[in-house]
A and B are shown apart, each in its own frame.
Chain A
Amino acid sequence: MNKRGARPRADRAGALAGVLLAFFTQPARAQSADELLARLDRAAASFTGAKADIRRAIYTAAIRETDLESGAILVRRSSPGQVEFRIDITGDNAYSLVVGAKQAEYYHPMINEVEVYDLRRYRDLAQTLMALGFGMSGRDIQANYAISNVRRDTTSGQPATAMDLAPKSQELVDRLHLQRVELWISDASLAPAQEKVYFRDGDTWTINYSNVQMNIKIPASALELPKNARREKRN
Chain B
Amino acid sequence: MGRRAGPAVPRGVGKAGSRMISRLVLENLRHKPVRTLLSVLLIAVPVTLILCLVGLSRGMLDESVRRARSIGADVFVRPPGSTMFTLGGNMPEAVVAALAKMPHVAIAMGVVNQSVGSLSLVATGISLNQFNRMSGGFTFLRGGPFRGPDDVIIDDYYADQEHKKVGDSIRLLNSDWRICGIIAHGMLARIVFPLDVLQQKTGNRGRVSQVYLKLDNSANTAEVIRYIKDQPGWEDYSIWSSQEFLSLVTTSDPGGLKAFTAVVVGIGVVIGFLVAYLSMYMAVLQRTREIGILKSLGASKTFILGIILTEAGVQGLGGCVVGVLLSYGSRWIIRLLVPASLTMQIVEEWWPIAGGIVLAATVFGAMYPGMNAARQDPIEALSYE
Which residues of A approach B to under 8 Å, CB–CB?
3-12, 14-15, 60-65, 67, 92-95, 108-113, 175-177, 199-203, 230, 232, 234
Q: Which of A12, A60, A63, A177 has the most CB of B within 10 A?
A: A63
Q: Return the chain A residue nearest B86 by Cβ.
A: A11
Q: Can you report 9 A-B residue pairs in the complex whose CB atoms are below 8 A from each other? A: A5-B203, A7-B88, A60-B95, A62-B234, A92-B203, A93-B206, A108-B202, A175-B81, A203-B80
B22 interfacial by beta-carbon distance below 8 Å = no
Given A4-B92, A14-B81, is A110 in contact with B233 using a C-beta cutoff of 8 Å?
Answer: no
For window 66-122 of chain B, which residues contact chain A by CB distance below 8 Å?
79-83, 86-95, 98, 114-115, 117-119
Chain B residues near A200 (CB-CB < 8 A): 235-236
Q: Return the chain B residue nearest A107 by Cβ.
A: B203
Chain B residues near A62 (CB-CB < 8 A): 95, 98, 231-234, 237
CA distance A36 to B79 in the complex (A): 38
CA distance A3 to B92 in the complex (A): 11
Contact yes or no, A7 B81, CB < 8 A: no
B205 interfacial by beta-carbon distance below 8 Å = yes
The 4 closest A-B pairs by CB, nearest first: A10-B81, A61-B233, A62-B233, A5-B207
Given A60-B233, A63-B98, is A176 in contact with B81 using a C-beta cutoff of 8 Å?
Answer: yes
Chain B residues near A234 (CB-CB < 8 A): 119
Contact yes or no, B92 A177, CB < 8 A: no
Contact yes or no, A94 B88, CB < 8 A: no
Secondary structure call for the B interface: loop
Contact yes or no, B86 A111, CB < 8 A: no
Chain A residues near B235 (CB-CB < 8 A): 200-201
Contact yes or no, A63 B203, CB < 8 A: no
Contact yes or no, A12 B236, CB < 8 A: no
B201 interfacial by beta-carbon distance below 8 Å = yes
Say how far A10's CB is from chain B's closest CB, in angstroms: 3
Given A15-B90, A62-B237, is A110 in contact with B201 using a C-beta cutoff of 8 Å?
Answer: yes
Contact yes or no, B94 A7, CB < 8 A: no
Contact yes or no, B207 A177, CB < 8 A: no
CA distance A96 to B94 in the complex (A): 25
B173 interfacial by beta-carbon distance below 8 Å = yes
Contact yes or no, A65 B94, CB < 8 A: yes
CA distance A150 to B204 in the complex (A): 38
Contact yes or no, B80 A177, CB < 8 A: yes
Contact yes or no, B207 A7, CB < 8 A: yes
Secondary structure call for the A interface: loop
B383 interfacial by beta-carbon distance below 8 Å = no
**A93-B204, A175-B81, A177-B236 known, 18 other contacts, Cβ within 8 Å:** A4-B205, A5-B204, A5-B205, A7-B89, A9-B90, A9-B91, A12-B87, A14-B81, A60-B95, A60-B233, A62-B98, A63-B233, A94-B203, A110-B201, A110-B202, A113-B174, A201-B234, A232-B115
Given A199-B80, A202-B232, is A110 in contact with B91 using a C-beta cutoff of 8 Å?
Answer: no
CA distance A94 to B205 in the complex (A): 10
B200 interfacial by beta-carbon distance below 8 Å = yes
Chain A residues near B114 (CB-CB < 8 A): 111
Contact yes or no, A9 B80, CB < 8 A: yes
Chain B residues near A232 (CB-CB < 8 A): 115, 117-118
Chain A residues near B175 (CB-CB < 8 A): 111
Contact yes or no, B92 A111, CB < 8 A: no
Chain A residues near B233 (CB-CB < 8 A): 60-64, 201-203
Contact yes or no, A11 B81, CB < 8 A: yes
Contact yes or no, A10 B98, CB < 8 A: no
Say how far A102's CB is from chain B's closest CB, in angstroms: 20
CA distance A175 to B80 in the complex (A): 10
Chain A residues near B205 (CB-CB < 8 A): 4-5, 92-93
CA distance A12 to B88 in the complex (A): 8
Taken residue by residue from 196 to 214, chain B's Cβ proximity to chain A (1 for < 8 Å, 0 otherwise) reads as 0000111111110000000
CA distance A8 to B93 in the complex (A): 14
Q: Return the chain B residue nearest A174 by Cβ.
A: B81
CA distance A37 to B366 in the complex (A): 70
Chain B residues near A93 (CB-CB < 8 A): 203-207
Residue from B90, B173, B200, B237 within 8 A of A7 (CB atoms):
B90
Contact yes or no, B83 A11, CB < 8 A: yes
Chain B residues near A60 (CB-CB < 8 A): 91-92, 94-95, 233
